[in-house]
Amino acid sequence: MKATKCVKVPHNEADKVACVFAGYRQMFNEGIRLGAESNITSKRRLYKSIYGKLEQDIHSHYKASCIFHAASTLKAWKTNLKKGHCNRPYLKKQVAKITNQGYVINGNILRIPIRPKEYVYVTLNEHHLSKLAGRKTGEITITPEFIIIPYSKDKEITKPAKWAGIDVNYDNITVAYDDGTVKKFDTSPIRQARQIMVGTVSNFKRRDHRVLKKIASRAGKKYRNRQNAVLHKASKEITSTGHGIICEDLKGIRKKGRRGNGRSKKARRNLNTWPFYILFSMIGYKALWNCLPVIAIDPHGTSSKCSVCGKKLAEEGRMVRCMCGLYVDRDVNASRNILAKGAMFAPARHAGEAMVGCAVTPSRCVSVPNIR
C-alpha cells in the first residue's frame, strides 16, 4: 500500500507564478464546462476529449494535471448532485498543480516551469531534502505562498503486538492502552482559538465589508494554525508508540448536531465545530506510514456502560460510578470500552488473552484492514 506525506516549501516567487494561476484557472473552468456539457467524469475520457481544446499561455505540463484535477472535481460534483441541488463548481483560488514530469529537483534547487523555457527556482532547505531523500515525489501543488511536494513509500500494514483505543471528546482525546495505562491530550486550545476568531469578527462593527473580509481571513488562518498544531501533536504521539489503533466510527455525527434533536444551541455548536474528520485523516495517514492498522467500531454504548462488568453507569459530573465499585473518569471508561470492543475484532489478537475491561458486547465492526 502506498503511504504518502508532504513537505511544505515556502517561496517568494508569487509575482512570477501569478500568470500560471490565471492560466490554470481558465483552463480548469473551461474543462469543467466542457466536461459538464458532455457529461464526462472519467479522467481518461476527459483528457482525450478536451486536451486539444484547452489553450493557455502557460507551460503544457500544467494541462494534464489541470484536466485530471477537473475530472475529480466533476466526479465529486456528480455525487453531490445525487444528494441534492448544488451549483456547477468553478475554481476561484490561486492554485496550480504539475506532475512530477514537469518539475526537476537538482541538488537543493527545485525548478518549476512557467512558460516554455521560462522557469522559477526555489531553494530547498536541509529539512526538506532529508524528507525527500530516496523517496518518490508526486504531483506538486503551487500556491502564492507555498509549494507542496508529496513523497511516498510502499508500506505493508503489519500485525501490531499492542492496541490502543481512542475516545474523542469536546475538550480532550483520551487514549487507553493494552497495559491499562491511559493518556489524555488536551484539545481545549482549539475551542479557545475558535472563540477568539468568532469574537474578532463579531466585534468589528464598521460597515466595511472589504476590511471585514481581510480581518476574517486573518483570524481564520490563526485559528486553523492553532487547530492543526494541536491535532498534529496528538496524532503524532498516538501513532508513534507502535500500537494498533481502534477508534469510533463517527459517520453521521453531523446529523446528530442538527436542530430539533434535543440538544442545546451550545451543545450543537460544540458538536458541529469539532474537527473530527481532520483528526481521523491525520491518524489514518500517520498510522499507515508507521505500518499500523486503524479499526473503526460502532461507538454505541461505549460511554454508558461499565468497562469492567458491562452494567449501566451512574454519572457524577465528569466521573462515573458502577455497582461493582468502579469509580473512574467517564472518558477513561469510554476509551477502555472502545479498546475492548475493537480488540474483539482485531485479527492479531489471540483467543483467551486477558484484557483490561472487556464487558461490552460487540455489535458491528466497520472496517478491518488486511493485515499480513
Cell numbers 456502560 correspond to 305
From 35, 32, 24, select the one nearest 93 (Cα to Cα).
24
**Least separation in angstroms between CB 306 and Zn ion:** 3
What does R_g of the chain's alpha carbons equal in angstroms?
A: 24
State the nearest-atom distance from the C-beta of 358 to Zn ion, in Å: 12
Nearest-angstrom CA–CA distance, 48 and 213: 41
In the range 189-228, which residues lie near Zn ion by CB under 5 A? Answer: none
Tally of CB atoms within 10 A around 198: 14
Q: Which is nearer to Zn ion, 70 or 320 (CB)?
A: 320
Separation between Cα atoms, residue 237 and residue 92, nearest integer Å? 36
Shortest Å, Cβ 359 to Zn ion: 7
Nearer to Zn ion, 127 or 311 (CB): 311
CA torsion, points 126, 131, 136, 138, in degrees to nearest 10?
-90
Question: What is the distance between the alpha carbons of residues 229 and 324, in angstroms, rounded to a whole number?
Answer: 40
Nearest 5°: phi and psi at 160? -85, 150
Residue 343 amino acid letter: A
314-344 per-residue burial string, b: 16 or more CB within 10 A, e: under 16: eeeeeebebeeebebbbbbbbbbbbbbbbbe
Q: How far is the CB of 344 from Zn ion (least distance, A)?
A: 18
Q: Whole-number minimum distance, CB 340 to Zn ion, in Å?
A: 13
In the complex, minimum distance from the CB of residue 175 to Zn ion, in angstroms, rounded to a whole number: 22
Q: Minimum distance between the CB of residue 324 and Zn ion, rounded to whole angstroms?
A: 3
Which C-beta is closer to Zn ion: that of 1 or that of 314? 314
Nearest approach in angstroms of CB 317 to Zn ion is 18
We find the least distance from the C-beta atom of residue 182 to Zn ion, in angstroms, to be 17
Q: Does 356 bind Zn ion (CB under 5 A)?
A: no
Q: Which CA distances in Å does 291 have to 190, 214, 234, 236, 243? A: 29, 42, 18, 14, 10
The interface mask with Zn ion, positions 295-324, x = CB under 5 A, is: -----------x-xx------------x-x
Tell me whether residue 2 or residue 311 sits nearer to Zn ion (CB atom): 311
Minimum CB distance to Zn ion smaller for 319 or for 366: 319
SS3 for 301?
Answer: coil
Gap between the Cα atoms of 228 and 147, Å rounded:
18
Number of residues in contact with Zn ion under rule CB under 5 A: 6
C-beta of 166 vs 322, nearer to Zn ion: 322
| Binds Zn ion by CB under 5 A, chosen from 326, 344, 348, 366 | 326
Say which residues have a Cβ less than 8 Å from residue 245's Cβ, sequence separation at least 6: 163, 164, 166, 238, 239, 283, 287, 292, 293, 294, 295
Nearer of residues 135 and 321 to Zn ion, judged by Cβ: 321
The residue among 139 and 331 lying less far from Zn ion, judged by its C-beta, is 331
C-beta of 52 vs 325, nearer to Zn ion: 325
Kindly state the DSSP code that residue 356 receives in the 8-state scheme: S
Q: Note the residues at the interface with Zn ion (CB under 5 A).
A: 306, 308-309, 322, 324, 326
